[in-house]
Structure 1
Amino acid sequence: MIRAAIVGTGGIAGICHIPALRAAADRAVIVAGVDVDAVRVKDFCDEHDIPSAYTDLEEMLAAERPDLVHICTPPNLHASQAVTCLNAGAWVLCEKPPCLSLAEYDAIAAAERDGGPYAAVVYQQRFGSAARHLRRLVDGGELGRPFVALCQTTWYRDLDYYAVPWRGRWSTEGGGPTMGHGIHQMDLMLAVLGDWVEVRAMAGLLDRPVESEDVSMATVRFANGAMASVINSVLSPREESRLRFDFAEATVELTHLYGYSNENWTYTAAPHVAAERAAAWRTPPTDVPSSHTAQLGTLLDAYERGERPETSGAGGRRVLEFIAALYKSAFTAHPVRRGEIDAGDPFYRAMNGEP
């Protein structure tokens, strides 16, 4: 059995991580919870029948020696906690955003070792059966060349949401909806279309009383020639998450909010495509919703094989570099190319380019 611990016992731990671990109860057991709030962690552990509660991460690591640690704390704590876990020999599954900057991400990666431990990021939108199915079709050339894409995260967050002290601040959240909300859809867009090469963006603080943006927009060019439009917002009363991909052979669309199943995807074949061929595209063999549960299963597989998880290393860094480039383009009013933000660039150490 894989021994798992949860660090940070707020909402996301109970809503997403506990169900995922319970679904994998034949492979993993939760041995401890950690939170700086002694009352909250005790209540959490009592509620979920977790045997040990701690208020100190290093104490828990020394006493319990977990194989896997789920990090569910605010973003400004992710990097230091991930490195601490990796140095103790524990694999990590870290909530998004994985950290506040590319510099922090590279520090996490430097603490990994060949064969493990590795630190994976929660990018659960990649792991639904419909997304897996689309990626197989794209990789196999079934849909032809990609031409155009739309990536939309238009959500609504009110003033009560931003009453939580760490939200909406560069030093604790790393950015606004681009970093904390749209990251899921953008990660899935990149998983489908591959490497991006150039981004041009704008960001604005239009209404919410925060430091970071509440809206961002970008245009993107990919290495394969495709072009995409991206929008991230927390000002949209009718909330929606949407992706659209126009290929030579078909338009593929996903419309949902926080998670999808197969029925949320539609395929519209080009006029020259035979109906039988189009029907095969639309029908994945199984229906696995996008979720922490779906992603955790693949992470446990990687752990058992001693292989790098899909959302660690370069697989987890790609969308973070894209977000850094989006912010840099928005702040400087210049296009930014992939690979441009190196260790000497101010946007390497902070998403807003400040010390």
Structure 2
Amino acid sequence: MIGTRPNIMKAAPLLKVLLAADWCRPQLVYLMQHTDAALAAEPMADLGIPADHPVRLHLAANGYGNRLGEMIETYSAHLARTRPDQVIVFGDVDTTLAAAYAAKRLHIRLAHVEAGLRSGDRTMPEELNRLMVDAVADTHFTTTELARRQLLAEGHRDDDVHHVGNLMIDSLLGTVDRQHGAHVCERLGVDPAFFCLATFHRPSNVDTADALQDIVRMLRAICASIPVVLPLHPRTLASLDRYGLREELDHIAGLTLTTALRYRDFISLLARARVAMTDSGGMQEECSVLGVHCLTVRENTERPETLHLGSNRLVSPSRAPGILREILTLPPASPASIPLWDGATAGRIAELLRTTSGTTSGRP
């Protein structure tokens, strides 16, 4: 079950492996939390998901409570009709929580991909979602050994927790194209050897006027040192308009604004960047594997391996410009070597699903 662009990145390589298997009939269900083309249809196409494959479940409600309730009700109705043997959810978005709750209320086995990540910050909606989904999941697939140990410390059985690697990296390694990234740079009018790629969408950075103003000031200071490309997430664009900051952003010299980029364009552009700035969890991972210096504008991260083994640093908006200037004096980062982030995670998950499903051959 998927609901957002990051979910698509995680589901696509696993779906491909499962579609080729002779022991299961996978069905990709898209509970439509993201509907913008660059956040949904285009990444599906970039990652080889057939346009007619996902079962699309539409949502209409606005407001957090109403929308979450609609997600649960809509997905519960689908499960009641189809009665799958197992539901697989990805990551930590609201649709992940809704689908997990719906599955367990109907007594359907639940597997959580990207389980065990913890920031320790329960003000983050994603942290609450992770904790609740992991609490009810039957099988946990982790991206790192640290996440596996976290789940064991929380009382989960060793047999139910599996360190398999990172599906995001499967998608990354199968899609990134530096030459294509150079073409995207040409289209945007930036030097393919010297630019910063930035993204911001977390509530802590864009949902209040003060926080968003801090981001705008930071971008103005960063642009004095290096040109910046800023794809605008729909949430960020709405906040800029709501607080009257869009015009201020438009007048920052050296800042190139664009709508959300399709996945292949974005990831290939990231591979060319001299440095990246973000509040995205996935981008921290991608920068580490690509060997791109990353400044994460957050107080914490649920992906500490990107700090210890990768090229990521946590920064505040006020400190970021000075740290970026320091990074520009350094050589480019080297690609990180993080265990099992090797592009083969989908195969490991599929084999574990096969051996734990009780089916060894033939379609059920």
Superposition TM-score, scaled by structure 2 size: 0.37
Higher normalized helix content (fraction of residues)? 2
